[in-house]
Amino acid sequence: MIDPGEISPVIVISPLQRSGTTLIQRLLCSAPNALIYGDTVGQEIEFFAKYGMARGQMIGFQQSQFTPIRQAVLRGDVSDFITPLAPTIETYIAGFRAAATAWLDGCHREAVEVNRPVWGWKLAGADATAIPILAEWFPKARWIWIERDIIDCLRSAKAALSLVPLLKPE
């Protein structure tokens, strides 16, 4: 498995829906060596990043409880309540990161196998809380940030809705 810190995905990201990420995805995928996965992949890694951030904070808050229990157990004292026994925060976070990003190894491998080594994903409407975690997890990532005026995004959404037939009760 490749260390996620060593891979360099292209991340096409925007703070709003209907900003043009699909257009950029299509443009990049038109190159014979690029494969940029869609929002499904982007949403999955965003979920893991946000969950990882929340778990890291919770484990950090609980270290004052975990550390004495861990030290007691390592000294051989197991007669107290040891249910909260946990690894160090560093071990916990590193393990979670490895688990959360392991499936991207398959995405990377698949892209290489089909001769498209420039790979990544897009994420329209990204949650700002996930971005710092993604940047930490993928320090070699190449980012494409898409900004579009919110009025234009709303017009685009309205136009897209006008193409969807309304459900009419019978």
Range of the domain at 36: 7-154
83 within some domain: yes
103 within some domain: yes
CA–CA dist 133, 103 (Å, integer): 17
Residue 118, SS3? strand
CA–CA dist 50, 153 (Å, integer): 25
**Torsion over CA: 79, 89, 1, 48 (sign):** positive
133 within some domain: yes
93 within some domain: yes
Going residue by residue through the chain, which has 170 residues, state the pLDDT in tens, using 9 for 90 and above.
Answer: 555 555 689 999 998 877 888 989 999 999 999 999 999 999 999 999 999 889 888 888 888 888 888 888 899 888 888 888 888 888 888 888 898 888 899 999 999 999 999 999 999 999 999 999 999 999 999 999 988 677 776 777 677 767 666 655 55
CA–CA dist 84, 117 (Å, integer): 44
- Give the β-pairing of 10-14 and 142-145: parallel
